[in-house]
Structure 1
Amino acid sequence: MSADELKAQGNKAFSAKQFDKAIELFTKAIEVSPTPNHVLYSNRSACYTSIHQYNEALKDAQECVKINPTWAKGYNRVGAAQFGLNDLEGAKLSYEKALDLDESNKIAQAGLQAIVDKEIGSGQMPDMGMGKIFSDPHLIEKLKANPKSAELMKDPEIVAKVRQLQANPTTVSQEMFTNPKLMQVVACILGIDLNGIPGGDVSATTASSEDVPMPDAPPAPKAAPKKTEAPKKKVEEVVPDSKKEADEFKAQANALYKKKHFDDAIELYNKAWDTHKDITYLNNRAAAEFEKGDYDTAIATCKTAVDEGREMRADYKLVAKSFARIGNCYLKKNDLKSATEFFERSLTEHRTPDVLNKLRATEKALKNQAAEAYIDEAKSEEARLQGKEYFTKGDWPGAVKAYTEMIKRNPKDVRGYSNRAAALAKLMSFPDAIRDCEQAIKIDPTFIRAYIRKANAELAIKEYKKCADTLSEAREVEAKANPNSAQLREIDQLHQRALSQRFAPLDGETYEQTMARIQKDPEVVEILNDPVMNTILQQAQNNPAALQEHMKNPAVYKKILVLMSAGIIRTR
């Protein structure tokens, strides 16, 4: 059974959620595949992810991107496996790589959002290094047995709090500073010799991995924590009168902002800030200054917000917003380097998909800006002549390097791509040569030399069908422009050579075996089943001259050429 057949069966088993069976089928497909196939590893990775075997999923995903490092979906697989292993930083890098390759990759975007949701949850913060301690299943018993914490553990509320911290250690820093008793318990935990208490096995248990649906779905957001005890009513926070007054100023300013009365809004935001120190008012003022086009003032306001926020230990999300708005201002000023710097600083404070996308777009624009600044047609010509000299001497790597410089200096000159393709072909790097030729054709669809070099590279790797298609396209373009050109004859000769190699007998193959193989060729079968071609062939039997007339049609010419090369049509 072929790799494609096994793959089709594996996909069917996966759709039926028969993951073990699908893994077995994809494994067999990998074994019989004549060349490493990244899709097969991707599919098997999806199966392993579906049954939570994330280590195996990661191995397959990494093999997938190793085989094809330009396939964005492969990095989605890597990210999903890393997410399942709780390697959030690694998953971020993988999803970001996927977006670098495919900016519209919605799976990667959703994956990054899932990571953000898992990281910040409802205001989660770092666990202060106590995650392993709180994951100890015997922690409650040890605290009750410890004389320093035994009395505190008689309080049901404290016991419930400790259980909550066991479920989510990242809230330690928030809870302990708002609850003096809990602070004492945490202090006791830090001073406990856990190995000296009966039953003191301190090895941390591993949290169960999150379910990551596959394929083509982002990791599922973290499930809501189970309720342990009904929480007691929170004591209502007392809001200072100054804060209430300041918020009234802010509300009035927001209404003016929406009406585009920015100066009046700025005046009220200033009043709000003078009344009560909250950097939200400064961030809002900066937004109004931004809308006015007063970017330098907005930058200064946001920098003040950052400094004041650091001093008063403001919410890191507000500080992140200040940095992001500075980045937006620099973007408007076309200072892309500074914009990149402040978007990065914003993400350091608080990671959000919106700012991440802005950073990526700015980095791309900065790269394009640098490339445009590098363009110099005179230096491009110097590089072309240098590349020609290297090529003549047989220094193919030197030629590739010189032609690469030529392309950077003038990306619109198709000769750079075509010449580099010729040097790459000498180095047997045919896929790269084909890509260069395709780029040259994209820039100038009438540049015939690029078609010919592309066809030669496809012929070298025995891509006969693609080679024939490339030459047919080249012939159509050249026939319209130069019906009697030497390049047209070169195209026909190369086309004939490609077809001859395609239908030539294989080593040890008899004539009958060769014809049997040819008659099963998909293109030959398609041509012979074409009613129009059947009519043409019947006419040709009675009137050979009619065949010549039909061959003036490029599509018919191509099909007749295939049949002649295959030996289906014989000429005397």
Structure 2
Amino acid sequence: MASEADQYKAKGNEFFAKKQYDEAIAAFTKAIEVSPTPNHILYSNRSGSFASKKDFDSALKDANECIKISPTWVKGYTRKAAALHGQGDLVDARDAYEEALKLDPSNAQAQSGLKSVDEAIKAEASQDGTTPDMGLGGMFNDQNMWAKLAASPKTSSYLADRAFVEKLKRIQQNPAAASQEMMSDPRIMQVMAVLLGIDITMPNGAPNSEEPKDSPMPDAPKPAASSSSSSKVEEPVEEEPQEEDDEAKKKAQAEEEKAKGNKEYKSRNFDAAIEHYQKAWELHQDVTYLNNLAAAEFEKGDLEGCIETCEKAIEEGRALRTDYKIIAKSFGRVGTAYHKLGNLDKSIEYYNRSLTEHRTPDVLAKLRAVEKEKKQKDIETYIDPEKAEQAREEGNALFKAADWPGAVKAYTEMIKRAPNDARGYSNRAAAYIKLLSFPEAVKDCDMAIEKDPNFIRAYIRKANAYFTMREYTKCIDTLNEASERDTKHENYSEIESLRAKALSARFQAQEGETEEQTMERISKDPEVIAILQDPVMQSILGQARENPAALNDHMKNPEVRKKIQLLVAAGIIRTR
């Protein structure tokens, strides 16, 4: 007969198949509430329902709970990855899919999900965020745009209008908007003319062409005396073509120096590359040259110099209104330099500042790597065997005083101070059992066994937790592992006593079950069937029917003894 939790689970599956996700979530929630023990499959199903509703925060929370209950179940990690992907956290989603593939390298869902995330990361890295711009993108994304507008008498005063500056920034993001803006603000056409190096005269009284009233203009030149009754307004003085030619020559020379620097950089002649990049910056102020200079200093090993140059690039970039993507590179390189210097806090700070300017998967991955490294370093720094022993003794005292929460806290401190000492995990497991937190106790026992596979006490505590959870098969399997490790038989009596209790409980009549129903359930037990179908066991049982004393000889074999004990507990073999 299906349990109440199974009934709710079945309803949840039906609702999910019909795409009635709210109803499915409600049914899975009921199943979780009435389930006698934490069930990872229920959390997984509810996570999938939340994800189908695009509620990725709730989906991630349930996926994490699923993994907490069953750390080796692959689907928990694919649920987590799908939720993270939905949140847009591509790097962590990729990590989750990789965790799934570590557990099951052939898992098709994890393979497909990983491929999808990788494609999304590539798309994000290559995306430039612009729309078709009818050829205007290059003009408005010119790194010297602001300098040109400031140098021209026709447009320099426009930069005092904050609203107009913001309008130009929006056009930089979406150059296609320039054609629409020209219709409402003729100043845009004047800006384009200056950027293109052509001359147009704005008509008097053109709408929106006057200067903002809150930004006073310099005194206009007085008109010259004339016999005419009307006076002419002086036209702006034209820019000297020679000045533009000189600037273009300097930029061309700077590009030549940059090209020479790149060649030396590729040849790993970093001193020569630095010299060329420095000359390029002196000829023409483009922050890209400073970023290249910093890269050469980094490769040379001059990390302090690299940081100083990047700081200069950031400062100059702000003044020149350089593209935020280029400034983000400067911040990112500072983060990398600090990482190599071992200053993880500063590295994290500058990676975050880089992501504030422009979010890229590469910098995000570096940030996550440094954060993990810092976390591990903090753990290693915290290790102190002497303080760990003090925490263990404190935990033991609290345990004896029946202060189970206090004991958990003390043993947790011991684990932090001595993460490779199996006793801390085992002791905390004992406290968790007292608090009836059996899944946590099992996890701690597993950690203790991982740290010391011969720590028998951890096996026994794990078996006790399974016994209390009525997971009798898992209890017996754990005791079998303990027997194999207990080569000196120091814990033989305790192990065998608990095994007998588990065998008996496994085959005893369940609540509301008749004797016939009990025997029918036992006869369908897979392990009982496997033993009865084993030719060797059939031969041994045949001998026992003819000569019961012969069974004692066979019991000397540990494997045979386990099987006979199970048949005795199941009532297949009856003893007097």
Using the size of structure 1 for normalisation, the TM-score is 0.69
CA distance change for structure 1 residues 75 and 183 in 2, over 3 Å: closer, same or farther? farther
Gaps of 5+ in 2: 69-75, 101-109, 132-168, 187-244
User: What residue identity is the alignment partner of 2:572?
Assistant: I
Q: Which residue of 2 aligns with 1:316?
A: 324
User: What residue identity is the alignment partner of 2:482?
Assistant: A
- CA deviations 1:495-516 (Å, max 9, x no partner) are 1111111111112322221111
**Residue 344 in 1 paired to residue 352 in 2?**
yes
The answer on whether the counterparts of 2:78 and 2:96 sit within 8 Å (CA) in structure 1 is no
**Residue 123 in 1 paired to residue 129 in 2?**
yes
CA apart distance, 1:347: 1.3
Supply the distance in 1 between the matched residues of 2:335 and 2:420 (Cα, whole angstroms). Answer: 32
Gaps of 5+ in 1: 84-90, 126-169, 188-237
Supply the distance in 2 between the matched residues of 1:119 and 1:263 (Cα, whole angstroms). Answer: 31
Supply the distance in 2 between the matched residues of 1:186 and 1:39 (Cα, whole angstroms). Answer: 61
CA apart distance, 1:97: 6.2
CA distance change for structure 1 residues 96 and 256 in 2, over 3 Å: closer, same or farther? closer
CA distance change for structure 1 residues 259 and 558 in 2, over 3 Å: closer, same or farther? farther
Give the match's secondary structure for 1:277.
coil
CA apart distance, 1:523: 2.3
CA distance change for structure 1 residues 45 and 415 in 2, over 3 Å: closer, same or farther? closer
User: What residue identity is the alignment partner of 2:325?
Assistant: K
**Residue 75 in 1 paired to residue 83 in 2?**
no
Supply the distance in 1 between the matched residues of 2:8 and 2:425 (Cα, whole angstroms). Answer: 39
CA distance change for structure 1 residues 531 and 332 in 2, over 3 Å: closer, same or farther? farther
Supply the distance in 2 between the matched residues of 1:427 and 1:5 (Cα, whole angstroms). Answer: 29
CA apart distance, 1:488: 1.6
CA distance change for structure 1 residues 506 and 10 in 2, over 3 Å: closer, same or farther? closer
The answer on whether the counterparts of 2:507 and 2:570 sit within 8 Å (CA) in structure 1 is yes
Q: Which residue of 1 aligns with 2:515?
A: 511
The answer on whether the counterparts of 1:7 and 1:25 sit within 8 Å (CA) in structure 2 is no
**Residue 400 in 1 paired to residue 408 in 2?**
yes
- CA deviations 1:63-82 (Å, max 9, x no partner) are 734853744433334345xx
**Residue 283 in 1 paired to residue 291 in 2?**
yes
Q: Which residue of 2 aligns with 1:149?
A: none
Q: Which residue of 1 aligns with 2:442?
A: 434
CA apart distance, 1:9: 13
* Residue of structure 2 aligned with 1:257, choices 250, 265, 274: 265
- The farther-off stretch of 362-371 and 69-78 is 69-78
- The farther-off stretch of 271-280 and 366-375 is 271-280
Supply the distance in 2 between the matched residues of 1:40 and 1:533 (Cα, whole angstroms). Answer: 39
The answer on whether the counterparts of 2:412 and 2:424 sit within 8 Å (CA) in structure 1 is yes
Supply the distance in 2 between the matched residues of 1:385 and 1:44 (Cα, whole angstroms). Answer: 42
User: What residue identity is the alignment partner of 1:559?
Assistant: K
The answer on whether the counterparts of 2:77 and 2:99 sit within 8 Å (CA) in structure 1 is no
Q: Which residue of 2 aligns with 1:157?
A: none
**Residue 114 in 1 paired to residue 120 in 2?**
yes
- CA deviations 1:437-470 (Å, max 9, x no partner) are 1111100111111111111011111111111111
Percent of aligned pairs sharing the same letter: 49
CA distance change for structure 1 residues 551 and 306 in 2, over 3 Å: closer, same or farther? farther
**Residue 182 in 1 paired to residue 181 in 2?**
yes
* Residue of structure 1 aligned with 2:564, choices 552, 560, 564: 560
- The farther-off stretch of 35-44 and 456-465 is 35-44
CA distance change for structure 1 residues 571 and 181 in 2, over 3 Å: closer, same or farther? closer
The answer on whether the counterparts of 1:124 and 1:171 sit within 8 Å (CA) in structure 2 is no
CA apart distance, 1:296: 1.1
The answer on whether the counterparts of 2:303 and 2:341 sit within 8 Å (CA) in structure 1 is yes
Q: Which residue of 2 aligns with 1:415?
A: 423
CA distance change for structure 1 residues 528 and 318 in 2, over 3 Å: closer, same or farther? farther
Q: Which residue of 1 aligns with 2:71?
A: none
Q: Which residue of 1 aligns with 2:206?
A: none
Supply the distance in 2 between the matched residues of 1:185 and 1:554 (Cα, whole angstroms). Answer: 93
CA apart distance, 1:104: 4.7
The answer on whether the counterparts of 2:331 and 2:350 sit within 8 Å (CA) in structure 1 is yes
- The farther-off stretch of 547-556 and 255-264 is 547-556
Q: Which residue of 1 aligns with 2:252?
A: 244
CA distance change for structure 1 residues 175 and 21 in 2, over 3 Å: closer, same or farther? closer
Supply the distance in 2 between the matched residues of 1:258 and 1:173 (Cα, whole angstroms). Answer: 33
Q: Which residue of 1 aligns with 2:222?
A: none
Give the match's secondary structure for 2:120.
helix
CA apart distance, 1:111: 4.6
CA distance change for structure 1 residues 316 and 385 in 2, over 3 Å: closer, same or farther? same
User: What residue identity is the alignment partner of 1:570?
Assistant: R
Supply the distance in 2 between the matched residues of 1:305 and 1:341 (Cα, whole angstroms). Answer: 17
Using the size of structure 2 for normalisation, the TM-score is 0.69
Q: How does 1:5-404 map to 2 (within 5 A)?
A: 20=18, 30=28, 35=35, 39=41, 42=44, 54-55=53-54, 58=56, 61=59, 64-65=62-63, 67-68=65-66, 70=68, 71-79=76-84, 83=86, 91-92=87-88, 104=99, 107=113, 111=117, 114=120, 117=123, 121-124=127-130, 174-175=173-174, 179=178, 182-185=181-184, 240-404=248-412
* Residue of structure 2 aligned with 1:465, choices 457, 461, 473: 473
Supply the distance in 2 between the matched residues of 1:381 and 1:43 (Cα, whole angstroms). Answer: 43
CA distance change for structure 1 residues 515 and 321 in 2, over 3 Å: closer, same or farther? same
CA apart distance, 1:418: 1.0
Supply the distance in 1 between the matched residues of 2:431 and 2:118 (Cα, whole angstroms). Answer: 41
Give the match's secondary structure for 2:413.
helix
Supply the distance in 2 between the matched residues of 1:295 and 1:373 (Cα, whole angstroms). Answer: 25
The answer on whether the counterparts of 2:81 and 2:94 sit within 8 Å (CA) in structure 1 is no
User: What residue identity is the alignment partner of 1:494?
Assistant: L
Supply the distance in 2 between the matched residues of 1:554 and 1:404 (Cα, whole angstroms). Answer: 38
CA apart distance, 1:279: 2.0
Give the match's secondary structure for 1:445.
coil
Q: How big is the alpha-carbon RMSD for the aligned residues of Structure 1 and Structure 2?
A: 4.0
Supply the distance in 2 between the matched residues of 1:352 and 1:295 (Cα, whole angstroms). Answer: 23
Supply the distance in 2 between the matched residues of 1:433 and 1:172 (Cα, whole angstroms). Answer: 60
CA apart distance, 1:341: 1.0
Supply the distance in 2 between the matched residues of 1:360 and 1:462 (Cα, whole angstroms). Answer: 41
- CA deviations 1:282-332 (Å, max 9, x no partner) are 222222222222211111111111112222122222212111111111111
Q: Which residue of 2 aligns with 1:496?
A: 500
CA apart distance, 1:544: 4.4
Supply the distance in 1 between the matched residues of 2:268 and 2:559 (Cα, whole angstroms). Answer: 62
* Residue of structure 2 aligned with 1:571, choices 568, 572, 575: 575
Q: Which residue of 1 aligns with 2:238?
A: none
**Residue 537 in 1 paired to residue 537 in 2?**
no
CA apart distance, 1:252: 2.5
The answer on whether the counterparts of 2:8 and 2:31 sit within 8 Å (CA) in structure 1 is no
The answer on whether the counterparts of 2:531 and 2:563 sit within 8 Å (CA) in structure 1 is yes
CA apart distance, 1:108: 7.5
The answer on whether the counterparts of 2:46 and 2:62 sit within 8 Å (CA) in structure 1 is no
Give the match's secondary structure for 1:428.
coil
- The farther-off stretch of 447-456 and 345-354 is 345-354
- CA deviations 1:212-245 (Å, max 9, x no partner) are xxxxxxxxxxxxxxxxxxxxxxxxxx99443333
- CA deviations 1:488-545 (Å, max 9, x no partner) are 2101111111111111111232222111111112322333333443344334434545
* Residue of structure 2 aligned with 1:523, choices 513, 523, 527: 527
CA distance change for structure 1 residues 550 and 313 in 2, over 3 Å: closer, same or farther? farther
The answer on whether the counterparts of 1:23 and 1:44 sit within 8 Å (CA) in structure 2 is no
User: What residue identity is the alignment partner of 1:54?
Assistant: K
Give the match's secondary structure for 1:351.
coil
User: What residue identity is the alignment partner of 2:345?
Assistant: K
